[in-house]
Amino acid sequence: MTPRVPAPKVAVLGAGGWGTALALSLLRAGHSDVTLWARRAEAAQELRERRENVAYLPGVPLPPELHITSKLAEAVDGAELALVVTPSVGVPDLLAALPQKLPLLLCAKGLGPNGERLSELARAGGFAWLAVLSGPNHAEEIGRGLPAATVIASDDPALARRAQALLQSASLRPYTSGDPVGVELGGVLKNVLAVAAGLVDGLHLGDNAKASLLTRGLPEMARYLDWAGAQPGTLYGLSGLGDLIATAGSRHSRNRAAGEALALGEQPEQGGKVVEGLRTARLLHDWGEQHGFDLPIIHAVSRVAAGEWAPQQAARELMEREMRAE
State the catalytic residues: 190
Tell me the residue type at 321: R
| Whole-angstrom distance, CA of residue 94 vs CA of residue 85 | 10
H helices present in the chain, as ranges: 17-28, 41-50, 72-76, 91-96, 118-124, 139-142, 157-167, 180-203, 207-228, 243-249, 254-263, 276-291, 296-305, 311-319
| Whole-angstrom distance, CA of residue 224 vs CA of residue 287 | 9
User: Residue 155 gets which letter from DSSP?
Assistant: S
> Residue 315 — φ and ψ, nearest 5°?
-60, -45
For residue 40, the SS3 value is coil
| Whole-angstrom distance, CA of residue 51 vs CA of residue 64 | 8
- Residues near 266 by beta carbon (within 8 Å), at least 6 away in sequence: none
Contact 152, 158 (CB under 8 A): no
* Dihedral in degrees, nearest 10, Cα atoms 73, 41, 108, 88: -100
